[in-house]
Amino acid sequence: MDQPVCLWHVGAELGEGPLWHAASESVYFVDIRGRQVHRCAPDGTRRQSWDAPGRPGFIVPARVSTTPVVSAPRRPSAGTQARSVAIGGTENLGSRLRGNDGAGGNDGAGGNDGAGGNDEAGGDDGEGFIVGLDDGLYRFDQQTGQFSVLRHIEADQPDNRFNDGFVAADGSLWFGSMDVGETNPTGSLYSLHPGGRLSTVDRGYIITNGPAMSPDGKTLYHTDTLGKRIYAFDLLPDGTATRMRLFIATAGPGHPDGMAVDADGTIWVAMFRGARVDRYNADGELIGTLAFPVSNITKLAFGGPDLRTAFVTTAWKGLNPDERAREPLAGALFTFRTDTPGLPQHTFSLQDIA
C-alpha cells in the first residue's frame, strides 16, 4: 500500500463524501461548510467547482431508470470545458448503546477553480447527481450547475443538516442527519428504498457518519462519531436493518468519521483528529493504520479503472492558527494505491425520490 499524496490542495473547510464516477472518470466530493461541490480527474487535473445553495453532506450518482446499475468506465469524449481549470497533479508530501467531527475553524485557503458550465471534456456524467443539503435531497445538474429540490426531509428540524451517504447494490440510498451545532442528539440514520419508501433506521445521534455495507450486502455499518463507536446491523432481503450491535469501539486519538469497504470486506475508517485511516477486518479487529500529514481525515472512496486507487477528503475545520500553520495541506484531497480493490459505485433512481 502506497503512502498518501496530495492530489488537490483545494483547502476545503470540511471536505467530505468522495465519489468515484467511472462514467466520467472523475472524483467528486463536497465541502460542507464551504458549500461547494468539487470534482477532478484521478490525476488531479480537470478541476471544477460549483457553489451549492446549502451545506452539501454527500453526493451520489443518479439515473432515470429503476434498474440498479453499476457505472462502467468510458473513454472521455472530446470537447471544451467551460469555466474550469486544467491544472494539478500530485504533491508529495445512539441512545441504546451510545453514551465530532470537530468544531470551530477559520476561513481557509484554496477552493474554487471554476463554477458551473458544460463539461464535455470530463466525459459522460450520466443523468446528474443526488446531493443531500440542509433540508432534503436535491438533484444536481453538473452541466448547468443547478440544484433542484427532490424531497424535503426533516423539515421540522431546522437545526439539523445531512451528513454522509451512499447507494447500495440494490439501489437503496442510506444517509444520516446531525445537529449543526454538534451538541444535541437530533440526528437519525435513514434509508430510501426503490419505490420511494423512506425508513428511519435509528435515532439519537449527535453526528452520524459512514454508512457502508459489506460486500455480500448482509451487514450495514454506521458510525456514532462523538461516541467513538461503529455499529453493525443485519440487513433483511427487503432492506430492513435489524439486530443493531456494537461492532467497533475505536481507540486512540481521534473520532471515527466516514468509511469504505473493500472487496475483501475490510472496513477502512477515516479518523477525524486522528491523522490516519484505520483498517478493520470483518470481525472488527484492527489490522492496519495509514498515517496522513493532516489531522482531520473525513472519508475515503475507492476508484480508478481497477478500483485500487483511494481518494481521501480532509478538513481544516477546528484547527487553531498554530495547527493550521503546521498542517498546510489540511483540507486537501489525497490519494494512495491499495493492494485490494474497493467495491463498485452504484446509482440511485430519480424515480425513487418522490
If residue 239 lies in a helix (H) or strand (E), which one and from where to where? none
CB atoms near residue 155 (< 10 Å): 8
Measured between its terminal Cα atoms, the distance across the chain in Å is 43
DSSP per residue, 60-79 = EEEESSSS--BPPP-PPPP-
Rounded CA separation 92/303 (Å):
20
221 in Cβ contact with 212 (< 8 Å)? yes
134 in Cβ contact with 148 (< 8 Å)? no
Known catalytic residue: 156?
no
CA angle 116, 89, 112 (to 5 degrees): 30
- Choice among 119, 257, 278, 352 that is catalytic: 257
User: Pairing state of beta strands 348-349 and 58-63?
Assistant: parallel
DSSP class of 323: H
203 in Cβ contact with 95 (< 8 Å)? yes
Q: 472524483: which residue's cell?
A: 27
DSSP per residue, 297-320 = EEEEEEESTTS-EEEEEEE-TT--
CB atoms near residue 76 (< 10 Å): 15
Cell output for 249: 469501539
Catalytic annotation, residues: 257
